[in-house]
Amino acid sequence: MKKIPYVTEEDVSRWEATIEKSLPILIQSIELGNTQSGRRYYQLYKEYRSQACMYYVRNDISKARDALLNSAKSFAILLDKYKQGEDVKPGFISYTDYQAMFFALICGDISLAKRIANNFEKDESFVTEHDFFEEVAEAIRYAILGQKEVAVSHSLNAVDIGFENLNNFAKLLSEVVGNKSVSVDLLEECLKEFDKSVRVDSVGIPEASIFLDGLGVMGLSVLLNANEVTLEIDDQRLDIELIQISQ
């Protein structure tokens, strides 16, 4: 088991019990056509993310990656159905869900990342907690779709707007979409912000175990800049083994 700050073996066992109970219910509900206007797909997206964190902490990287890919696929289906005019409440789609694109990149599934990016275009019906997240989502989306200038513009907007404990992440994202390599110094500052955020809001929960934004930006850098995945930071929340290079 990885040594993760603010996460204990008891926490991981609790996650596992919850996941083992909820995943079959969600899958069966969807198979029976009861998606609750998209709610079940959104719940599945989050539950697979939690499962990925659980496997990650237990150092089963292959299963963690599979779960992360299932999470991205669940969100992709939710977006597909919304765009096709099916009964999906846009309230289940938020700009904070930009991480779904990161998940696909981390898993090396570029076609899935582009599928999500194509359907994640700006929509007034989506939930907007803060303008910062809308700009981040747009920056990632346009970067994946190969529209560098637009991506850079949105990333700079995110830097200007700012958000607590994500300011250095915005700077790192801006550098990567501008075709710069991942800055180790800036990534370390991002980890400090992540650590602070976890201490305030996320002690003992799955999302505390992996710095998904950091790994996601590295996955984006691989796509845009054809960089090799290397890292000089010794922090088990940032295990680059999780990143799958697309062939």
Give the rounded distance of the alpha carbon of 184 from its chain centre: 20
Quote the radius of gyration of the chain (alpha carbons, Å): 17
Q: Look at residue 2 and tell me if it is in a domain.
A: no
Q: Look at residue 3 and tell me if it is in a domain.
A: no
Planar angle of CA 26, 36, 44, nearest 5 degrees: 30
Mean pLDDT of the residues in the chain: 93
> CA–CA separation, 124 vs 192, rounded Å?
33
> CA–CA separation, 56 vs 65, rounded Å?
8
Domain span at residue 117 reads 9-242
Average pLDDT over residues 177-186: 89
Q: Look at residue 247 and tell me if it is in a domain.
A: no
Average pLDDT over residues 101-121: 96
Residue 227 is predicted with a pLDDT of: 65
Give the rounded distance of the alpha carbon of 180 from its chain centre: 21
Q: Look at residue 175 and tell me if it is in a domain.
A: yes
Q: Look at residue 4 and tell me if it is in a domain.
A: no
Report residue 101's pLDDT band, with 50, 70 and 90 as the boundaries.
very high
Task: Find out whether 59 and 1 touch, Cβ atoms under 8 Å.
Answer: yes
Report residue 186's pLDDT band, with 50, 70 and 90 as the boundaries.
very high
DSSP states of 82-104: HHTT-S--GGG-BGGGGHHHHHH
Task: Find out whether 150 and 142 touch, Cβ atoms under 8 Å.
Answer: yes
Q: In sequence order, what are the residues at sequence separation of 6 or more whose Cβ sits closer than 8 angstroms to the Cβ of residue 10?
A: none
Task: State phi, psi for 94 to the nearest 5 degrees.
Answer: -125, 150
Q: Look at residue 95 and tell me if it is in a domain.
A: yes
Closest CA to 72 of 38, 24, 121, 108: 108
148 membership: H or E segment, kind and range: helix 148-161
Average pLDDT over residues 229-233: 76
Residue 206 is predicted with a pLDDT of: 95
Residue 12 is predicted with a pLDDT of: 96
From the number of C-beta atoms within 10 Å of its C-beta (0-12, 13-18, 19+), residue 82 rates as: buried
**Tally of domains in the chain:** 1
For 66, other C-beta atoms within 10 Å of its C-beta total 16
Q: In sequence order, what are the residues at sequence separation of 6 or more whose Cβ sits closer than 8 angstroms to the Cβ of residue 56?
A: 2, 64, 209, 210, 239, 242
